[in-house]
Amino acid sequence: MTGSKRVVVIDGLNIARDRGFSTWPAGSAKAIVIAVEHLLKSSCDVHVILPTWAFSGRQRKSDSMLLEAPLLEPYLQTIVHLAPSGMDEDGFILRFALERSGYVLSNDLFRNHIRSGFVSRDWVQAHRIGFMFIHDQLLIDMQFDVVTKPLKSPVDSQRDELVKIMPPLSRVVSAPARVGDGVAPMRVKSVTGDGVRGCIRKPPRRGTSGPSMRELLSRASTRERF
């Protein structure tokens, strides 16, 4: 994870050659761009891994290059990463996702890598995000919608925990005032959608709450004389 973003590694060749995209089976860089922009708008830390030949073609088989490959040029080195020729790009995709505690956007089930023990079946089920295209729109597996939501910062997480343990306002009760503080407690009548509707007892004014101690002593001494 990077900061408050979830890492999503795009299986570039799998995306580019998806049957739902209009350029199947040749494969198109446009499909990759659509996936990248979709995830960037969802505040994900996005990376695409492609075999080198899919971007630049082979010396004797240039038709292996993806259609509209120049569309990827603005993303090279920052988002789009080219795996060395002759290497297993799926291995790089899985390793990067494992090291970053990330997810993989791909319809590949990675059976070979499960059989080899590189990853477990449970890990693939929990971290592989399935997808489909409808025309030029990318749709991802609904169970992974949470992946495309930004992670909460530590401050937000602490605030949410405090909200969980704080009693609701409807449970607030009057607390007895301390002797001598001159403040009467607040009594909550009811709680409505607009807030608290209640009344506050004002502290008694001096001289209106009864005779003072000095007055009582004076009256007592007067009675003793008679």
144/50: higher pLDDT:
50
In this structure, the answer to whether residues 204 and 147 fall within a common structural domain is: no
- Strand (E) or helix (H) holding 30: helix 29-41
DSSP 156-218: HHHHHHHHHHSPPGGG--PPPPPTTS--PPEEEEEEETTEEEEEEPPPPPTTSSS--HHHHHH
Average pLDDT over residues 183-204: 51
Last residue of a domain, one of 102, 118, 153: 153
Q: Return left, alpha or beta for 138; rule: phi > 0 is left, psi -120 to 50 is alpha, else beta.
A: beta
60/55: higher pLDDT:
55
In this structure, the answer to whether residues 188 and 147 fall within a common structural domain is: no
* pTM metric for this prediction: 0.64
Provide the residue type at 154 as one letter: P
224/31: higher pLDDT:
31
In this structure, the answer to whether residues 29 and 137 fall within a common structural domain is: yes
Do the Cβ atoms of 218 and 199 come closer than 8 Å?
no
Structure tokens at 112: 């070979």
The pLDDT tens digits of the residues spanning 117-165 come to: 999 999 999 999 999 999 889 999 888 876 666 555 555 556 655 655 6
In this structure, the answer to whether residues 147 and 172 fall within a common structural domain is: no
Average pLDDT over residues 28-38: 95
Average pLDDT, the chain: 78
**Does residue 45 lie in a domain region?**
yes
In this structure, the answer to whether residues 182 and 129 fall within a common structural domain is: no
Query: What is the domain range of residue 183?
Result: 168-225
DSSP 62-96: GGGSPBTGGGGGGGBTTTEEEEPTTS-HHHHHHHH
Least Cα distance to 32 among 54, 53, 63 occurs for 54
205/172: higher pLDDT:
205
* C-alpha of 154 from chain center: 12
Residue 202 has pLDDT above 80, yes or no: no
Highest mean pLDDT among 39-43, 57-61, 167-171, 202-206: 39-43
**Does residue 2 lie in a domain region?**
no
Structure tokens at 53: 């030949």
In this structure, the answer to whether residues 195 and 128 fall within a common structural domain is: no
The pLDDT tens digits of the residues spanning 60-98 come to: 455 578 999 999 999 998 999 999 988 999 999 999 999
Q: Which of 47-56, 92-101, 134-143, 197-206 has the weakest average pLDDT?
A: 197-206
In this structure, the answer to whether residues 218 and 108 fall within a common structural domain is: no
Residue 198 has pLDDT above 70, yes or no: no
Task: Give the chain's length.
Answer: 226
In this structure, the answer to whether residues 137 and 185 fall within a common structural domain is: no
- Find the CATH number of the domain harbouring 140: 3.40.50.11980
Q: How many domains does the chain have?
A: 2
Residue 196 confidence class, pLDDT cut points 50, 70, 90: very low
In this structure, the answer to whether residues 38 and 128 fall within a common structural domain is: yes
Residue 186 confidence class, pLDDT cut points 50, 70, 90: low
C-alpha to C-alpha distance for 84 and 91, rounded to whole angstroms = 12
C-alpha to C-alpha distance for 197 and 188, rounded to whole angstroms = 7
Structure tokens at 136: 């030029």
Residue 212 has pLDDT above 80, yes or no: no
In this structure, the answer to whether residues 12 and 124 fall within a common structural domain is: yes
**Does residue 23 lie in a domain region?**
yes
**Does residue 159 lie in a domain region?**
no
In this structure, the answer to whether residues 172 and 113 fall within a common structural domain is: no
**Does residue 160 lie in a domain region?**
no
In this structure, the answer to whether residues 218 and 140 fall within a common structural domain is: no
- Strand (E) or helix (H) holding 25: none
Structure tokens at 138: 């990318």
Q: Please report the pLDDT score of residue 187 as a whole number.
A: 54
